[in-house]
Structure 1
């Protein structure tokens, strides 16, 4: 044991230490809350404060995480409460220097010369900072010690996992590393894999800004390789888009980055991620791999499964800001809230907050607490889903007024014009309140995020979409439930990840997580830190539901049911095994990926996979790229197509350009065929989705699509009302109820759900399988000449636009809203990305296009048009 460790143990074990630390942390937490609370604990005396700072100076010399965490807490809390105590200020800064926490150090730096600092202190601080400073673009930025250690490892690591708390600057490091590799190489291919389209957009924009206007670098979120394009290409893709790219080309990568790598554990999407990364890494012996995750463990075992047995791990568990967890409850008497600080030793009373506002109604207590305690610094308020987000945002906005903020007025006008004039977000945004969920249009979601970062939006009510990836920290986080959706429990690690949004590195030294009615939660997931355990979703499925998996391999693929969380992962695991059997590699694959399971089970799975493949009898190339779709359903679709060819109806099978005259009939037939043969589903549902999908592919603006949805709902309600009238005439005692008046928010939300869940996800996968089977059938029946007529409708479904020009605008990083608005302005539907970029750059006055300020801001943010003025 080192001297510092031994001394730290004796200091921390002193009878008075815990009491003084408790008073410091309680006082710091109370001082950090924007509202004034009646505290029950006196702050430590100046003498006691300096004793703690002396102890912290010893703690920081150890390698013990608990002591270093304690040292940072003492330093930051001292800086919060010390006021004009110059000695405490300098000691606190010295400890932050020793911790290598330069963002916090910069945040607490006072204006002017450091008159109170000794020469040696100033010299140590300057030298330490310089050693941790790197150049990013045209700026010099000091890194934390963890960031600097990871930064130094990145260039030489063939495979590395970087795990650190939320907002620790992991993705910032890796994006800079990627961009430097691109700049230094004559030829370079990289892929950055992220789980959501929201994160794709953010990462793509960051890379675009960092690399500037380099014409010889292609940065794209579109999963197509451009053989005639530049030798340096950066793909920013979801795992599904990466799967499409790998299937369509022989591209090899110099660098593969996987953000939010804990999603390797996430059901069917985790299996797609594992298989895609394994493929990408296996194509070249020189490919480097970087995995990123917040506070995760288990990387070593997963590394072996994805072709990176030499994976190293860079880990930090020390956030750069204080993150107070404060539980709230309604006081028994009066309009007041009781506040407790959660500590490793249990709750510690902070005090009472009194207000003229009542907190008696549990359903509105979350909003009431946020309004009282989160009015400054930006507050994220958790909602269990989109409907709940709208409700909580409505509650918040009732108590606020339109402050006349021009930026918010612009967003409000954008919502009315580009979403729907009656969408309630348009009104509440003017009051500094917004709701946010994953299925919103990209440009709207990004606009709300930007307004929150810039301080225009004070309250952002969000769903689990913000739990992962998107860099959106806040001063305050409010949570009143550990559940999501229909009261399904949230993983504790996910809650900790969201709580980690509290505290903005380089903007704050403290953030508060307010836990409303925490005492009444069925579980207490935020009592002690719980990180992600990265596991193979495929291994988990085979070990947890082996009999269901064997049943699926036997042909009993589970149907999609609302409460069956296992169905999708069982289908995916069965499809993956059958695809490996088709490629004659299932035995080795099972042994490598499921080696920890019982040998008898491994044998049964292998044999069942081989038998299923023999029964299906489809080409290995087809199954290898479409295993997420029921392989038995693919066989039914293949047989149906052969039948149509025999009936000389081949032309009816071929998808056409969505802008053509026969598109409605074509896609109605195709979607019905797919849904009937593959999913054994309702033709009526397929008809509904095909109509929406066609409008989507044609690039129809959201207001047009949503107006159609409202009208469709009106017709449906009218039919119900008429049916109910007939029932009541026949049976006056009947209690049938007419539908309520249409709420536009409900219709908009349902339409977003259909677009994102069915059109842009499910039918993209089904559509790709459809085209692959169609091409096989055309070849087998001697009609290869028709393959050139097959329109790539899955890509149009994914992007929401059907022309090459539209795809090119989106490849430049633009949202669908912007691409659809630009598409009719240029008289060529076949623009290449380079031609689209050149056309935009040559527009003398972007205002002449009348696109609206939000779209113009997006164009300028991506540096695609001339700057203002």
Structure 2
């Protein structure tokens, strides 16, 4: 191996090598673009191409990542530019075989007999492929070398982290491992933790398809055990749902899988993830742990903080496809774009693209570039937020025609009927354009993703929602800014993760990342690869803002504010410490998780946590499951409830069925009490959210909810116009402006935000804490009999199921499981396909319990 490395150094150092490689890569990039480029570089001659392929054959014999990456680039680019050169074709395939890149090998395989292949080459390729092939269900699938190495590690690893580029097949590998364990065991419990409800749906659907119709396996996204169910159960949960499950039961797991494990670094949700995984692992000495992340480092240090000090890491930094980063800028003269290929040595001129379309307007250049250069293979176009996504999608659809695709027509009709007739998505999707953001209903979002995967939608304008989790690769990715939201900088690792969507393993050998006006970006995050650095969010908070954390423990909890990015993580870290103090384990926890910090700071945090717990005086069991909510606010809520009980108003505290008489008044007061006492928030906002929450729990269909929102906005605008009219009559010189026409997209987006951010997330956490405190108060005041009358409204908000008209409980065939989803969004003609696409399933126990969204 040292000989191959020495020879590689000599080859790469030759004066002519860099020039020939540059011409090959530039030619390959230009030919991969779905448009005619006036190139400035001639491709290498046949002789030079074979010299490069010879060098690549040596490079691939080393373990050096840079040389192996170079070998793959030479092989794939040669296959793109070589045309009918049989020798180059065979050499390129030989190199891919040595790299173990069988998805690319299959993609470039020609139809018919390979007359140019030698017997030894064919034998070598067949043997290598067979060694990497595993059976998945009824199919035999060849793995890449990285996948095969990780596959061989999985059965024996007590704890393993798998880190590889986006779309490298990590989750596929682990889902197959999980399913095999389920099939082989008489009794087995696993949990697959994913950061979003959208990813829950995708993963649960994959597991359902893989296991087929086995009648004795329960697969669920609901955080409840089924005591009468089968001995084999697979939970697919967010970290919040896992936290609920662990708090409600003594469940132990044989296998814990954490997808997008870089989220251990992510503020309050990272702390929930860390605490939940640690609990799950600590409950049994035989529990195995698998962490998945794209291009991440730092797992070794995190292992100890989640109860896995023996964590091993399987890592790859070699993608299975070419990913060209191409810089675009407006040409100085004419309707043209100048293209440069970004390389480790800096930008390299590719050529010029000329068009009849203008590129002069910076605000529309992203859409114009995507239309011209991304018309084939599917294009993801990045937008900084939902409003920007809608704008860019409108620009893209403006010059396109309805192609008459019946699948898109069906989706369009569905959107008009089940979202709103004037929602612009309904019109543009007929042209093969859609926008996508995280707060959309799960069913709609997944329908758009499916249409993009199947090639019906050609342009999908997306926000950071698609940066992680969802498996949605594309031929092209377009980006024109390194920011998100209101110009907040994106983490370079997140941007690289999104760029990694370019190139579809098993569908393409190349993907292009187009960087519009890249030379004008304030930073150049895509010049050189930056991966995630995984670090405990709790440790980061304690080390970066220790004074704020100590202040919060002293009672000065920061209020939630869009202008204070540290507030959420400070509140969560303080709550976590106070919960550990309540459980009499704060000293050991601080020393174990914050061992790298100064001993004096650790002591101050410990003492402050103990003092805070003593001051708050709430039970450890309550704080252990609600520490993400301000513990001092919980105390205020507890005291307020005691006051109401003393005033003999206990019944007004108890949540009732959303269908019961007086539900609007009851929930209005409950939400106001929660928001006022816990968050010190505005009661008017709480009233708005409670109305939406009640309609949500009642199963009111989306079109009805959204129509009400539009009507509400219209009444508000009419009132403003009347106030303005009176003002102008009193003061003729007044310049007050009337509101414009209602933009339905704006109203719909705000309603989605309220439903997802407030109703289905924030008030789920707050509501759970409310019910836990209410049960404590009822017990302490001798009113335990009322506990059975407490309606579990947080579960209704989280899982979005229609309640039973008869009373407080969910209508269900088995204990602990809500009934099936309401028909909020399902048109009769396509309800079952839509349900299947959304990941909803009935579990396959004899009771046929319903699993969640």
- The answer as to whether partners of 2:187 and 2:232 remain within 8 angstroms in 1 is yes
How far did residue 831 of structure 1 move?
Answer: 20
In the alignment, the residues of structure 2 paired with residue 778 and residue 50 of structure 1 have an alpha-carbon distance, to the nearest angstrom, of 82
Q: What secondary structure is seen at the aligned counterpart in 1 of 2:224?
A: coil
Please list every run of 5 or more consecutive structure 1 residues that lacks an aligned counterpart in the other structure.
800-812, 839-857
Q: What secondary structure is seen at the aligned counterpart in 2 of 1:370?
A: helix
Please list every run of 5 or more consecutive structure 2 residues that lacks an aligned counterpart in the other structure.
800-806, 833-841
Matched, 1:859 2:850: no
In the alignment, the residues of structure 2 paired with residue 788 and residue 3 of structure 1 have an alpha-carbon distance, to the nearest angstrom, of 76
Number of matched pairs: 837
In the alignment, the residues of structure 2 paired with residue 832 and residue 352 of structure 1 have an alpha-carbon distance, to the nearest angstrom, of 48
- The answer as to whether partners of 1:21 and 1:74 remain within 8 angstroms in 2 is yes
- The answer as to whether partners of 1:474 and 1:502 remain within 8 angstroms in 2 is yes
Q: Are the structure 2 counterparts of residues 596 and 287 from structure 1 closer, same or farther at C-alpha, using a change threshold of 3 Å?
A: same
- The answer as to whether partners of 2:221 and 2:852 remain within 8 angstroms in 1 is no
In the alignment, the residues of structure 2 paired with residue 29 and residue 745 of structure 1 have an alpha-carbon distance, to the nearest angstrom, of 38
Equivalent residue, structure 2, for 1:787: 787
In the alignment, the residues of structure 1 paired with residue 812 and residue 83 of structure 2 have an alpha-carbon distance, to the nearest angstrom, of 50
How far did residue 786 of structure 1 move?
Answer: 1.0
In the alignment, the residues of structure 2 paired with residue 742 and residue 29 of structure 1 have an alpha-carbon distance, to the nearest angstrom, of 45
How far did residue 318 of structure 1 move?
Answer: 0.1
Equivalent residue, structure 2, for 1:832: 826
- The answer as to whether partners of 2:226 and 2:815 remain within 8 angstroms in 1 is no
String of CA shifts for 1:784-812, please: whole Å, max 9, x gaps.
Answer: 1111111110010112xxxxxxxxxxxxx
Q: Are the structure 2 counterparts of residues 719 and 424 from structure 1 closer, same or farther at C-alpha, using a change threshold of 3 Å?
A: same
Q: Are the structure 2 counterparts of residues 552 and 153 from structure 1 closer, same or farther at C-alpha, using a change threshold of 3 Å?
A: same
Q: Are the structure 2 counterparts of residues 374 and 580 from structure 1 closer, same or farther at C-alpha, using a change threshold of 3 Å?
A: same
Aligned residue among 804, 812, 815 for 1:821: 815
- The answer as to whether partners of 2:579 and 2:627 remain within 8 angstroms in 1 is yes
In the alignment, the residues of structure 2 paired with residue 814 and residue 399 of structure 1 have an alpha-carbon distance, to the nearest angstrom, of 53
Matched, 1:769 2:769: yes
In the alignment, the residues of structure 2 paired with residue 124 and residue 471 of structure 1 have an alpha-carbon distance, to the nearest angstrom, of 32
Q: What secondary structure is seen at the aligned counterpart in 2 of 1:823?
A: coil
Q: Are the structure 2 counterparts of residues 821 and 671 from structure 1 closer, same or farther at C-alpha, using a change threshold of 3 Å?
A: same
In the alignment, the residues of structure 2 paired with residue 190 and residue 830 of structure 1 have an alpha-carbon distance, to the nearest angstrom, of 31
Q: What secondary structure is seen at the aligned counterpart in 2 of 1:291?
A: strand
In the alignment, the residues of structure 2 paired with residue 23 and residue 831 of structure 1 have an alpha-carbon distance, to the nearest angstrom, of 53
Q: What secondary structure is seen at the aligned counterpart in 1 of 2:414?
A: helix
Q: Structure 1 stretch 415-424 or stretch 859-868: which is displaced more? A: 859-868
Q: Are the structure 2 counterparts of residues 509 and 156 from structure 1 closer, same or farther at C-alpha, using a change threshold of 3 Å?
A: same
Q: Are the structure 2 counterparts of residues 836 and 285 from structure 1 closer, same or farther at C-alpha, using a change threshold of 3 Å?
A: farther
In the alignment, the residues of structure 2 paired with residue 521 and residue 276 of structure 1 have an alpha-carbon distance, to the nearest angstrom, of 39
How far did residue 730 of structure 1 move?
Answer: 2.0
What TM-score comes out, normalization by structure 2 length?
Answer: 0.94
Q: What secondary structure is seen at the aligned counterpart in 1 of 2:116?
A: coil
How far did residue 819 of structure 1 move?
Answer: 15
In the alignment, the residues of structure 1 paired with residue 808 and residue 23 of structure 2 have an alpha-carbon distance, to the nearest angstrom, of 52
In the alignment, the residues of structure 2 paired with residue 728 and residue 405 of structure 1 have an alpha-carbon distance, to the nearest angstrom, of 52
Q: What secondary structure is seen at the aligned counterpart in 2 of 1:323?
A: strand
Q: Are the structure 2 counterparts of residues 244 and 820 from structure 1 closer, same or farther at C-alpha, using a change threshold of 3 Å?
A: closer
- The answer as to whether partners of 1:208 and 1:862 remain within 8 angstroms in 2 is no
How far did residue 862 of structure 1 move?
Answer: 18
How far did residue 482 of structure 1 move?
Answer: 0.2
Q: Structure 1 stretch 552-561 or stretch 50-59: which is displaced more? A: 552-561
Equivalent residue, structure 1, for 2:343: 343
- The answer as to whether partners of 2:220 and 2:852 remain within 8 angstroms in 1 is no
In the alignment, the residues of structure 2 paired with residue 79 and residue 862 of structure 1 have an alpha-carbon distance, to the nearest angstrom, of 54
What TM-score comes out, normalization by structure 1 length?
Answer: 0.93
String of CA shifts for 1:186-223, please: whole Å, max 9, x gaps.
Answer: 11111100111111111011011111111211111111
Alignment of 1:514-533 (within 5 A): 514-533=514-533
String of CA shifts for 1:397-422, please: whole Å, max 9, x gaps.
Answer: 00100010000000001111111111
- The answer as to whether partners of 1:700 and 1:820 remain within 8 angstroms in 2 is no
How far did residue 429 of structure 1 move?
Answer: 0.4
In the alignment, the residues of structure 2 paired with residue 245 and residue 115 of structure 1 have an alpha-carbon distance, to the nearest angstrom, of 60
Q: Are the structure 2 counterparts of residues 207 and 827 from structure 1 closer, same or farther at C-alpha, using a change threshold of 3 Å?
A: closer
In the alignment, the residues of structure 2 paired with residue 819 and residue 524 of structure 1 have an alpha-carbon distance, to the nearest angstrom, of 56
How far did residue 662 of structure 1 move?
Answer: 2.2
In the alignment, the residues of structure 1 paired with residue 136 and residue 597 of structure 2 have an alpha-carbon distance, to the nearest angstrom, of 47
Matched, 1:13 2:6: no
Q: Are the structure 2 counterparts of residues 824 and 319 from structure 1 closer, same or farther at C-alpha, using a change threshold of 3 Å?
A: closer
- The answer as to whether partners of 2:11 and 2:55 remain within 8 angstroms in 1 is yes
Q: Are the structure 2 counterparts of residues 836 and 341 from structure 1 closer, same or farther at C-alpha, using a change threshold of 3 Å?
A: closer
String of CA shifts for 1:704-743, please: whole Å, max 9, x gaps.
Answer: 0000100111111111112222222222222211111100
Q: Are the structure 2 counterparts of residues 159 and 828 from structure 1 closer, same or farther at C-alpha, using a change threshold of 3 Å?
A: closer
- The answer as to whether partners of 1:40 and 1:350 remain within 8 angstroms in 2 is yes
How far did residue 362 of structure 1 move?
Answer: 0.2
How far did residue 827 of structure 1 move?
Answer: 14
How far did residue 12 of structure 1 move?
Answer: 0.2
Q: Are the structure 2 counterparts of residues 511 and 576 from structure 1 closer, same or farther at C-alpha, using a change threshold of 3 Å?
A: same
Equivalent residue, structure 2, for 1:586: 586
In the alignment, the residues of structure 1 paired with residue 328 and residue 831 of structure 2 have an alpha-carbon distance, to the nearest angstrom, of 53
Q: Are the structure 2 counterparts of residues 595 and 293 from structure 1 closer, same or farther at C-alpha, using a change threshold of 3 Å?
A: same
Equivalent residue, structure 2, for 1:134: 134
In the alignment, the residues of structure 1 paired with residue 790 and residue 851 of structure 2 have an alpha-carbon distance, to the nearest angstrom, of 41
How far did residue 563 of structure 1 move?
Answer: 1.1
In the alignment, the residues of structure 2 paired with residue 241 and residue 151 of structure 1 have an alpha-carbon distance, to the nearest angstrom, of 28
Q: Are the structure 2 counterparts of residues 108 and 616 from structure 1 closer, same or farther at C-alpha, using a change threshold of 3 Å?
A: same
How far did residue 826 of structure 1 move?
Answer: 10
- The answer as to whether partners of 1:701 and 1:817 remain within 8 angstroms in 2 is no
In the alignment, the residues of structure 2 paired with residue 672 and residue 382 of structure 1 have an alpha-carbon distance, to the nearest angstrom, of 38
Q: Are the structure 2 counterparts of residues 543 and 822 from structure 1 closer, same or farther at C-alpha, using a change threshold of 3 Å?
A: closer
Q: Are the structure 2 counterparts of residues 706 and 596 from structure 1 closer, same or farther at C-alpha, using a change threshold of 3 Å?
A: same
In the alignment, the residues of structure 2 paired with residue 704 and residue 868 of structure 1 have an alpha-carbon distance, to the nearest angstrom, of 23
In the alignment, the residues of structure 2 paired with residue 862 and residue 508 of structure 1 have an alpha-carbon distance, to the nearest angstrom, of 43
Q: Are the structure 2 counterparts of residues 814 and 466 from structure 1 closer, same or farther at C-alpha, using a change threshold of 3 Å?
A: farther
- The answer as to whether partners of 1:159 and 1:311 remain within 8 angstroms in 2 is yes
String of CA shifts for 1:525-584, please: whole Å, max 9, x gaps.
Answer: 000000000000000001111111111111111011121100000000000010011111
Q: What secondary structure is seen at the aligned counterpart in 2 of 1:381?
A: strand
In the alignment, the residues of structure 1 paired with residue 103 and residue 845 of structure 2 have an alpha-carbon distance, to the nearest angstrom, of 26
- The answer as to whether partners of 2:594 and 2:602 remain within 8 angstroms in 1 is yes
- The answer as to whether partners of 2:390 and 2:435 remain within 8 angstroms in 1 is yes
Matched, 1:296 2:296: yes
Equivalent residue, structure 2, for 1:848: none
String of CA shifts for 1:507-527, please: whole Å, max 9, x gaps.
Answer: 000000000000000000000
- The answer as to whether partners of 2:222 and 2:851 remain within 8 angstroms in 1 is no
Q: Structure 1 stretch 59-68 or stretch 586-595: which is displaced more? A: 586-595
In the alignment, the residues of structure 2 paired with residue 228 and residue 828 of structure 1 have an alpha-carbon distance, to the nearest angstrom, of 25
> What RMSD, in angstroms, separates the aligned Cα atoms of the two structures?
3.9
Q: Greater RCO between the two (CA within 8 Å, min separation 6)?
A: 2
Q: Are the structure 2 counterparts of residues 759 and 305 from structure 1 closer, same or farther at C-alpha, using a change threshold of 3 Å?
A: same
Q: What secondary structure is seen at the aligned counterpart in 1 of 2:813?
A: helix
Q: What secondary structure is seen at the aligned counterpart in 1 of 2:190?
A: strand
In the alignment, the residues of structure 1 paired with residue 824 and residue 333 of structure 2 have an alpha-carbon distance, to the nearest angstrom, of 70
String of CA shifts for 1:725-773, please: whole Å, max 9, x gaps.
Answer: 2222222222211111100000000000000110011000000000000
String of CA shifts for 1:124-157, please: whole Å, max 9, x gaps.
Answer: 0000000000011111100000000000100110
In the alignment, the residues of structure 2 paired with residue 545 and residue 236 of structure 1 have an alpha-carbon distance, to the nearest angstrom, of 34
In the alignment, the residues of structure 2 paired with residue 818 and residue 105 of structure 1 have an alpha-carbon distance, to the nearest angstrom, of 50
Alignment of 1:451-850 (within 5 A): 451-799=451-799
Equivalent residue, structure 1, for 2:176: 176
- The answer as to whether partners of 1:32 and 1:510 remain within 8 angstroms in 2 is yes
In the alignment, the residues of structure 1 paired with residue 415 and residue 174 of structure 2 have an alpha-carbon distance, to the nearest angstrom, of 34
In the alignment, the residues of structure 2 paired with residue 358 and residue 531 of structure 1 have an alpha-carbon distance, to the nearest angstrom, of 36
In the alignment, the residues of structure 2 paired with residue 819 and residue 774 of structure 1 have an alpha-carbon distance, to the nearest angstrom, of 28
- The answer as to whether partners of 1:823 and 1:829 remain within 8 angstroms in 2 is no
Q: What secondary structure is seen at the aligned counterpart in 2 of 1:460?
A: strand
Q: What secondary structure is seen at the aligned counterpart in 1 of 2:816?
A: helix
In the alignment, the residues of structure 1 paired with residue 844 and residue 70 of structure 2 have an alpha-carbon distance, to the nearest angstrom, of 45
- The answer as to whether partners of 2:843 and 2:851 remain within 8 angstroms in 1 is no
How far did residue 782 of structure 1 move?
Answer: 0.9
String of CA shifts for 1:422-461, please: whole Å, max 9, x gaps.
Answer: 1100000000000001111111111101110100000000
- The answer as to whether partners of 2:696 and 2:797 remain within 8 angstroms in 1 is yes
Q: Are the structure 2 counterparts of residues 676 and 241 from structure 1 closer, same or farther at C-alpha, using a change threshold of 3 Å?
A: same
Q: Are the structure 2 counterparts of residues 259 and 816 from structure 1 closer, same or farther at C-alpha, using a change threshold of 3 Å?
A: farther
Q: What secondary structure is seen at the aligned counterpart in 2 of 1:816?
A: coil
Q: Are the structure 2 counterparts of residues 407 and 324 from structure 1 closer, same or farther at C-alpha, using a change threshold of 3 Å?
A: same
In the alignment, the residues of structure 1 paired with residue 621 and residue 490 of structure 2 have an alpha-carbon distance, to the nearest angstrom, of 38
